[in-house]
Amino acid sequence: MLNDAWRSQHAGGSDDSTTGVDAALLHFAAAADQPVLVVSRPQAPAPLEIARVRWANTAAADLFGVASDHLVDRAVTRLLRRREESPEGEHLSRDRRIRCTVDALTSGGESRHVEVVAWPVPEREGREWFWVLAVVLPEDERAQAALRAAEERFATLAQSSPVPTIVSDVGARLSRVNDAFAELIGLPAEELCGTAWLTHVVDDERSGVVEAVARVLAGERVTLDTRLRNAAGQVRWVAVRLAPSRTPGYGAGFIGTVEDVTDRLAREHRLAYQAQHDLLTGLPNRLALLERLTDLLTPQAGAPQAGSGVGVLMVDLDDFKTVNDGLGPEAGDAVLVEIARRLARTVRGGDMVARPGGDEFVLVCADLTDLDAVQATARRVLDAVLAPVEVNGLRLRLVASIGVVLLEGLTCSAEEVVRDAGIAVHEAKAAGGGRWTLLDDEVRQRARRALRLVADLREALSRGTVDVHYQPIVRPGSPAELLSLEALCRWTHPELGPIRPDVFVELAERANLVPLLDAHVLALACRDLASWRAAHVAGDLPHTPAYVAVNVSAVSLAAEGFSAGVRQTIAAAGLHLRDICLEVTETSLASDLRACRTVLEELRRDGARVAIDDFGTGYSSLAYLKDLPVDHLKVDRSFVRDLHSVGEGVAGGPARAVAAAVVSLARTLGLGIVAEGVETLEQDAVIRDLGCEAVQGFLYSRPLTREALVEVLRAGGLLHPHPLAPTPAHVPAPREVTA
């Protein structure tokens, strides 16, 4: 069978019975510049005398003076004769390559001294064995000597190299391998030489490697990744780099390196996994989520509308911070892992559950074609979160808020989808939490206005265009004497006009701009107070306030460097700490009481005043008085608003009783007290009757611009009560702009 294939190959035909490696070998042997014979190989070791020619190339025909077709079936002994001095016992071996010295007998009766190199070639079915004989002519001896020297140098280099190295002199068979390759395969080097190393390539990779070898034998350099199975049966990924090598006297071969990259690929796969997965829950992370959304939002040719029927649900655990703070981060992590497991069970196989960060999860679900489907999915998610979670022996019930965005018809980016889902979550939380909200155009537009305002507010702070108005704090009477001032920030948008303080302060809180806003107001208040003090010394102003009160958030108090920043700002204005009163609300103190107390104690020790604003509205007012360094209490306007001179039960009603209790408490503790929100003469009368020494409110003055306040100071700091107190022309009414 192989004889026919070789005849066909010699005649320019092909036969599917030959292997790819054999066909490649014959192709390049036919074109070789040295004589090559293929002879039959017996099943057992046998001498040259019983071998017969099965194929010969043109160079062999030239050497023996016989046409290639006429060489076929001749006994090898009619062509090659062992020399007298040759060692006895040289046999054809099926395991290795051999060299022997013989005489080549030409058709003219001449005898030429040659060297024969033989390689074993197994037939595919294994019924017969063959040899490939390459004849090295005498004129090649000098080249062969140089080649052997080069081979020795290469062998010395390659043998000690840690990189597995293989060499083939002709075809795909190995003539040399180093110890590193032998170790990789798990067989001795002598067993690998002369063998078909391709048998160690896993079956489904072998055809690709055979094709690569054929390309190398044709003169290309080839690099490929494949898998080898070693002697122990282990499969290893290797990077094979092959370069063509033509050996005089042999023909086309190659030299290559075989690098074991199994561990490297495992690391790369692990890093790739970590780059796209949350390490705590194993869910896809933000990067993987954005890639998935980008694919869904990208129109595909011939496909339905991008994002058709796909919904994005952002799940945010309500008040998860309580779990982390109360039970510790390990308990919080356990809760997140359990919630992740539950959410993964609520979706179908093709849907995605991701954790972009914190206590947020995002579900990407298909087939949300109507509101009923959205509602059913959101309900399943809420129920999954609501089921009790056992942590550290405690049964916790969690609640979540869900924001839903439908992708159909959207032309925005993946980042914008996640942002919109967050907006919808915010709406759900604002509505009380524990529910879901579908983002609509109205909500989206409102959120975009808020984003624009945040950007404009940041720009205004950087440019210093956020201003300060001052509300007088007075000793009640007619006229009332101005004692001090409270600095209140005001912002006039260049296009929208005045923005309500509660609106832009909330925006500042969302965008983490509150510390910057607090520092800006403090700097303006110090600058203005310093200028009024200088004018008073110069005789231009007969009256100046004793101090200016500025509102400070707990976020600012807890920020690193706050105390140093306050000192630097006050010193830069030429003032002292006693010229400033820091007002802190009870509710803000609840976030980090210890940090706030440390900073306030330090500043108060050096002269700063401290006041608790909106006193009485928090949950632990008395605890704050015990733990905090305080100079003043400010009675919240909610108590002052309901004050009456007479009432049922307790004289003046419950509001009067509360106000009286606060005033009495302040006196007992030696604290000053200020009543906020005094707007009527009746409220003023009750406050004065209770013994409150300072008030602020519209009855005496609305917040004044810098210029209007200078006029009051120039008039001696006296203010007359105005029960109706219309808005002064120089104080524009804040515009109703919502976030």
Residue range of the domain that includes 25: 2-136
- Does residue 731 lie in a domain region? no
Which pLDDT score, from 0 to 100, does residue 648 have?
46
User: Using the 8-state DSSP alphabet, how is residue 195 labeled?
Assistant: S
Collapse the DSSP code of 319 into the 3-class scheme (helix H, G, I; strand E, B; otherwise coil) and give the result: coil
Residues 634 and 651 in one domain: yes
Residues 124 and 195 in one domain: no
Residues 625 and 689 in one domain: yes
Residues 261 and 410 in one domain: no
Token reading at 552: 């400070």
**Euclidean distance between CA atoms 194 and 172, whole angstroms:** 9
Question: Comparing C-alpha atoms, which of 685, 680, 677 is closest to residue 646?
Answer: 685
Residues 393 and 373 in one domain: yes
**Partner residues linked to 493 by β-bridges:** 497
Residue 345's region, left for phi above 0, alpha for psi from -120 to 50, else beta, is: alpha
Which pLDDT score, from 0 to 100, does residue 2 have?
39
Number of domains forming the structure of the chain: 4
Residues 115 and 150 in one domain: no
Question: Comparing C-alpha atoms, which of 59, 30, 55 is closest to residue 41?
Answer: 55
**Euclidean distance between CA atoms 35 and 53, whole angstroms:** 13
- Helix H or strand E segment including 158: helix 141-160
Residue 691: which CATH number? 3.20.20.450
Residues 496 and 429 in one domain: no
Which pLDDT score, from 0 to 100, does residue 108 have?
82
Choose the final residue of a domain: 113, 136, 159.
Answer: 136
Residues 458 and 408 in one domain: no
Residues 473 and 606 in one domain: yes
Q: What share of the chain is helix, strand, coil (3-state, %, to 5)?
A: 45, 25, 35
Choose the final residue of a domain: 375, 404, 439.
Answer: 439
- Does residue 734 lie in a domain region? no
145-175 pLDDT tens trace = 555 665 666 566 666 678 888 888 777 778 7
Q: Are 249 and 134 in contact (CB under 8 A)?
A: yes
Residue 335: which CATH number? 3.30.70.270
Q: Are 582 and 611 in contact (CB under 8 A)?
A: yes
- Does residue 446 lie in a domain region? no
Q: What is the CA radius of gyration of the chain?
A: 46
- Does residue 577 lie in a domain region? yes
Which pLDDT score, from 0 to 100, does residue 146 have?
55
Residues 548 and 641 in one domain: yes
Please name the residue ranges forming H helices in 387-513: 414-430, 441-463, 501-510
What stretches in the chain show pLDDT beneath 70?
Answer: 1-29, 31-32, 41-49, 84-96, 122-129, 138-160, 195-196, 247-250, 300-307, 586-592, 616-624, 627, 644-652, 724-739
- Does residue 222 lie in a domain region? yes
What are the angstrom distances between the C-alpha of 61 and each of 44, 111, 247? 29, 15, 21
Residue 29: which CATH number? 3.30.450.20
Burial class (CB in 10 A: 0-12, 13-18, 19+), 482: buried
- Does residue 725 lie in a domain region? no
Quote the Cα angle for 218-223-226, to 5°.
110
Give exposure, 89-100, as e/b (b: 16+ Cβ within 10 Å): ebebebeebbeb
Following CA atoms 433, 438, 442, 443 in sequence, which dihedral angle do they give, to the nearest 10 degrees? 40
- Does residue 727 lie in a domain region? no
Q: Which amino acid is at 527?
A: R
Residues 283 and 250 in one domain: no
Q: Which amino acid is at 584?
A: V
- Which residues, at least 6 apart from 92, have a Cβ–Cβ distance to it below 8 Å? 41, 42, 45, 46, 47, 48, 51, 98, 118, 120, 131
- Does residue 737 lie in a domain region? no
Residues 95 and 161 in one domain: no
Which pLDDT score, from 0 to 100, does residue 26 have?
67
Choose the final residue of a domain: 382, 414, 439.
Answer: 439
pTM of the model: 0.55
Which pLDDT score, from 0 to 100, does residue 15 have?
43
